[in-house]
Amino acid sequence: MRPTTAQLETFFWVARLGSVKEAARHLNLAQPTISLRLQELEAQFRRPLFERVSRRLSLTPTGDALLPRAVALIHELSGIREMIGGATLAAGVVHLGLSETFAQICLPDCMKLLARERPALQLDIAVGTSAALENQVIERQLDLAFVVNPVGDPKLAVIQLGIQDAVWAASPALGLPARITPALLSSVPIVTNPHPSPMYQQIIDWFREDGTEPTQICRCTSVTLAVELVRAGLGVSLLPTRLVEPLLRDGSLVQLKPHKQPTPSRLFCIYRFAEHGPLIDAVLGAARQTIADLGFVKG
C-alpha cells in the first residue's frame, strides 16, 4: 500500500492545526474520516506520527521527518490548482500573527489587497507581543508572523522589512523636560510590554547602558493599553511612532528627546523554512506592498 494524497493532505492539516477536530472542520470532513486516514498512514509507517501534548497533537520524530515532504506535496497541488484556475482561485487558510502596531496600521489595507488578488485565501489572525508570536510560529500554531526584533531560531526564515520608528512619549501633565536621560527617568513609572518582549528589552537596555535601572515598571501585554496609560499620565514609554502620531499632533502626548537613541525596532516577517509555499508568499507580498504604500518602515 502507498500513501494517498488524501492521507498526506490530512496529515498536513492535522500537523498545522494541532487537532483532528480543526483539520476536519478545515477539510469539511467528518472527524472519523480524518482519524481513519491518519491510522492508515501510521500503519504504513508502522509507528505513530503524532503524540498528544496537553490539548494539542504534536509531531513525533517520524512525523517531523515526514512533514517537509507533505508540505512540498501540498504546495505542488496548490500550484497545479493555480495553473488550472489562475492565482485568484488558490485557496487555503493562513494562520497569521501580527504585532499590535502592524495590525492597527497595516492590516486593513493588506486584507483589501489580498481580497482583490487572492479572494479564496482566508486569514486566521492572532495579535500579540512579538516574543509570543515568534514562539507560536516555532510551535506551528502560526504559519507566519510580522514581529519586531525576533530572537531567531534555526527553523525560521527571518526576513527584515525595515526599521519601525519608536519615540519616548509622556503626558504633558507630567511636566518632564524635553530632553531626557536614563537617570532622569529612573524614578518615573515606565510602561512596557513584559519580558522578554522587544519593547521591554529596548527600554531596559537603554537604562542599563547608562548604568541605571528604572525603579517602577508597569507591564502590560497591549501596546494600545500602554498608550492609554501614558496619555493618562501614569508613566512614560517608548512607543511606536506611527501609533502615537495623532496624539503627538493634538498635544495629548509630547515627544521626549533622549540623550542617546535606543536600539532600533526592526520589523521582520518570520515563518518556518519547512512550510514555505505560495500562500505564505502571497501574504508576504501583500504585506510588503502595503508597508511600501503606507511608508510604515524606513529602509
Bridge partners, residue 255, by sequence: 169
Bridge partners, residue 179, by sequence: 257
pLDDT for residue 26? 78
What is the rounded CA–CA span in Å between residue 45 and residue 213?
Answer: 56
pTM recorded for the entire structure: 0.74
Domain 91-163+266-294 has CATH 3.40.190.10: yes
Mean pLDDT is lowest, of 66-80, 184-198, 227-241, 273-287, for 66-80
Smallest CA-to-CA distance from 117 within 144, 92, 88 is with 88
E strand map for 155-198: 156-163, 166-170, 179-180, 190-192
Strands 266-272 and 156-163 come out as antiparallel
Residue with cell 472527524: 31
**Is there a cis peptide before residue 172, judged by omega within 30 degrees of 0?**
no
Domain 5-84 has CATH 3.10.20.440: no
Smallest CA-to-CA distance from 159 within 243, 42, 283 is with 283
Question: Are the folds of 91-163+266-294 and 166-258 the same?
Answer: yes
Confidence grade of residue 291 (pLDDT, cut at 50, 70, 90): very high
Q: What is the CATH number of domain 166-258?
A: 3.40.190.10
pLDDT for residue 81? 66
Q: Where along the chain do its domains lie?
A: 5-84, 91-163+266-294, 166-258
Say yes or no to pLDDT of 278 above 70.
Answer: yes
- Cell digits of residue 49: 506520527
Dihedral sign of CA atoms 223, 228, 231, 236 in order: negative
Q: Is 35 helix (H, G, I), strand (E, B) or coil?
A: helix
E strand map for 152-265: 156-163, 166-170, 179-180, 190-192, 217-219, 237-240, 254-258
pLDDT in tens, 248-263: 999 999 999 999 989 8
pLDDT for residue 232? 97
- Cell digits of residue 245: 502620531
What is the rounded CA–CA span in Å between residue 167 and residue 262?
Answer: 9
Smallest CA-to-CA distance from 268 within 229, 226, 297 is with 297
What interhelical angle do 241-249 and 100-117 show, nearest 10?
A: 110
